[in-house]
């Protein structure tokens, strides 16, 4: 950083001082008679002098700052020209103020109106450079008293990864890396900008690195290179986890969320729409908000509780970090939220039989995963009351086809995952008879061989 770049940094700090003084001058000009202003001529003259000096320094520092190339050229030119015009008008009024007090009324009033208009226009363009062109755009009448300050735009499983990432960038990054301003030569509101990256390197990384984006947002908050800056609104853990999953899976801008195999912990980013495959896993009716004390109790027992979609009261619950000895206590707390819990993850759990028995009380479950757990045929009967169940994952468990006869009443089942179980080919046919409309996933996938896969050895 040279001395000129250092001077440019003072522009946002200094520019507000002449604006405040000029607004006071305009107010005084409209509410105080000219005769009284003439009596206080020297005070007003001094105020105008101070304003003109700071306005001039604002122009100089602004010109230096505009040379960084980080701003929209058309917007910065308009802001610069209006700023210079405002500073010149400030000097003219300062030098002619005594005569102005004695001039015809229309000239006198025109000077104040000109100062007011130029100040508003210059300030508006400055705000557009800093916060975006729509910063002062008023909300729609329907949103005037809306509690949430977040964007109305949402992502669905049909949204692309770029569209979802753009929702995050719009709230946390665009003011510095958008159309009007590109700090570090970085723009995040277009696909081209994401692919190009900034002056510090490739944004999305490759097979050898995570890229600048992940590196910067993962830095400690107190680090000078952390993004967004510590004084700005930070990314939530869910947003950071999504970017991490997307980038490390290849950072395909056009891949739909449905193809990313997003875990339940990221489902809060998604709002279902009528075309989403996930529609049947989410009830169409609303439910009351879950008891906060119960959720806090579950969190204290290391249970992962998250909403299944944005602004939804339905919950996804995972026992991933739950200690085996706390299983019964956790299940008792879950039953208190049986209206809200519709997704339950019991993967890799070695739960007591009494805990498995309680699952039937969670009769609003749509999705149950017990992968690689101690679930078996004897416990299958405990699922009979889950008549809303859509998806059942029993991969890696000791279940057989005979156990499914106990739950053949669950005719809403659409997906059953049975890889690495005791079920043989005859057993799959029997289960298919129990659930003719369900998709049975055995996990024995066959990958087709293409000509391009063949390795040719040459001497």
Looking at residue 457, its pLDDT comes to 57
pLDDT at position 153 is 58
Buried b / exposed e along 257-288 (16+ C-beta atoms within 10 A)? beebebebbbbbbbbbeeebebebbbeeeeee
Is residue 202 scored above 70 in pLDDT?
A: yes
Q: Which of residues 382 and 1 earns the better pLDDT score?
A: 382
pLDDT recorded at residue 45: 85
- 175 versus 456: the higher-pLDDT residue is 175
pLDDT of residue 33: 83
Q: What are the pLDDT digits (tens) for 38-81?
A: 777 788 888 889 888 988 888 887 777 766 555 567 777 888 88
Check residue 148 and give its pLDDT. Answer: 44
pLDDT of residue 147: 47
Q: What is the mean pLDDT of the chain?
A: 80
Distance CA 112, CA 100 (A): 11
pLDDT digits (tens, 9 = 90+) for 213-222: 888 888 887 8
Q: Would you call 30 helix, strand, or coil by DSSP?
A: helix
Q: Does 171 have pLDDT greater than 70?
A: yes
Locate the domains of the chain by residue range. Answer: 3-138, 161-262, 265-441
Q: Which of 112-116, 195-199, 356-360 has the lowest mean pLDDT?
A: 195-199
**Across 20-24, 206-210, 335-339, least confident range:** 206-210
When pLDDT is averaged across residues 214-242 and rounded to a whole number, the result is: 80
Kindly tell me if the per-residue pLDDT of 149 is higher than 60.
no
pLDDT at position 152 is 47
Task: For residue 228, say if its preceding peptide bond is cis, omega within 30 degrees of 0.
Answer: yes
| pLDDT number for residue 399 | 93
311 or 290, which is more confident?
290
Q: What is the DSSP string of 371-400?
A: TTSS-BGGGGGGGTT-TT--EEE-TTSB--
The yes-or-no verdict on residue 14 having pLDDT over 60 is: yes
Q: What CA–CA distance (Å, rounded) separates 34 from 25?
A: 13
**Is the pLDDT at 108 greater than 50, yes or no?**
yes
- Domain 265-441: which CATH number of 3.40.50.300, 3.80.10.10, 3.20.20.10, 3.30.70.141: 3.80.10.10
pLDDT in the model for residue 274: 46
Q: What is the pLDDT of residue 5?
A: 57
Residues with Cβ within 8 Å of 446's Cβ and at least 6 positions away in sequence, in order, are: none
Angle between helices 292-300 and 327-335 (to 10 degrees): 170
Lowest mean pLDDT among 90-94, 155-159, 207-211: 207-211
As a whole number of angstroms, the longest Cα–Cα distance in the chain is 105
Lowest-confidence segment of 52-61, 150-159, 445-454 by average pLDDT = 445-454
Does the pLDDT value for residue 453 go beyond 60? no
pTM for the predicted model, two decimal places: 0.46
**pLDDT reported for residue 347:** 92
Asked whether the predicted pLDDT for residue 212 surpasses 90, the reply is no
| pLDDT confidence of residue 339 | 94
């Amino acid at each position: 950083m040279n001395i000129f770049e250092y001077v440019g940094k003072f522009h946002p700090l200094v520019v507000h001082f002449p604006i405040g003084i000029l607004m006071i001058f305009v107010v005084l000009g409209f509410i105080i008679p000219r005769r009284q202003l003439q009596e206080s001529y020297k005070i007003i003259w001094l105020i105008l002098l101070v304003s003109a000096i700071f306005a001039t320094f604002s122009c100089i520092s602004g010109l230096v700052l505009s040379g960084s190339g980080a701003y929209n050229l058309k917007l910065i030119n308009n802001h610069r020209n209006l700023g210079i015009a405002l500073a010149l008008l400030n000097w003219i009024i300062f030098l002619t103020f005594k005569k102005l007090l004695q001039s015809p009324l229309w000239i006198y009033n025109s000077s104040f109106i000109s100062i007011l208009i130029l100040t508003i226009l210059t300030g508006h363009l400055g705000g557009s450079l800093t916060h975006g062109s729509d910063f002062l755009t008023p909300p729609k009448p329907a949103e005037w008293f809306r509690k949430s300050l977040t964007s109305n735009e949402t992502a669905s499983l049909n949204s692309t990864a770029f569209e979802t990432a753009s929702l995050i960038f719009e709230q946390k990054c665009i003011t510095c890396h958008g159309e009007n301003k590109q700090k570090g030569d970085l723009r995040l509101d277009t696909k081209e900008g994401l692919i190009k990256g900034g002056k510090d390197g490739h944004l999305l990384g490759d097979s050898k690195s995570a890229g600048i984006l992940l590196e910067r947002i993962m830095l400690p908050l107190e680090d000078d290179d952390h993004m967004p800056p510590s004084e700005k609104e930070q990314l939530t853990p869910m947003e950071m986890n999504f970017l991490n999953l997307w980038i490390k899976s290849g950072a395909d801008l056009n891949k739909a969320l449905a193809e990313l195999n997003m875990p339940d912990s990221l489902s809060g980013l998604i709002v279902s729409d009528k075309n989403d495959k996930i529609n049947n896993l989410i009830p169409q009716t609303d439910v009351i908000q879950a008891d906060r004390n119960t959720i806090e109790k579950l969190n204290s027992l290391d249970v992962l509780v998250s909403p299944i979609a944005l602004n939804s009261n339905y919950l996804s619950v995972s026992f991933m970090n739950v200690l085996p000895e706390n299983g019964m206590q956790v299940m008792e707390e879950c039953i208190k939220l049986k209206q809200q819990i519709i997704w339950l993850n019991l993967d890799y759990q070695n739960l007591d039989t009494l805990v498995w028995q309680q699952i039937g009380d969670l009769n609003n479950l749509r999705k149950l995963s017990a992968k690689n757990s101690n679930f078996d045929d004897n416990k299958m009967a405990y699922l009979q009351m889950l008549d809303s169940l859509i998806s059942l994952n029993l991969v890696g468990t000791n279940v057989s086809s005979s156990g499914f006869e106990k739950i053949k009443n669950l005719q809403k089942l659409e997906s059953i995952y049975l890889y690495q179980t005791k079920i043989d080919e005859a057993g799959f046919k029997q289960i298919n008879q129990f659930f003719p409309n369900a998709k049975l996933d055995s996990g024995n996938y066959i990958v087709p061989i293409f000509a391009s896969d063949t390795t040719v050895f040459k001497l």
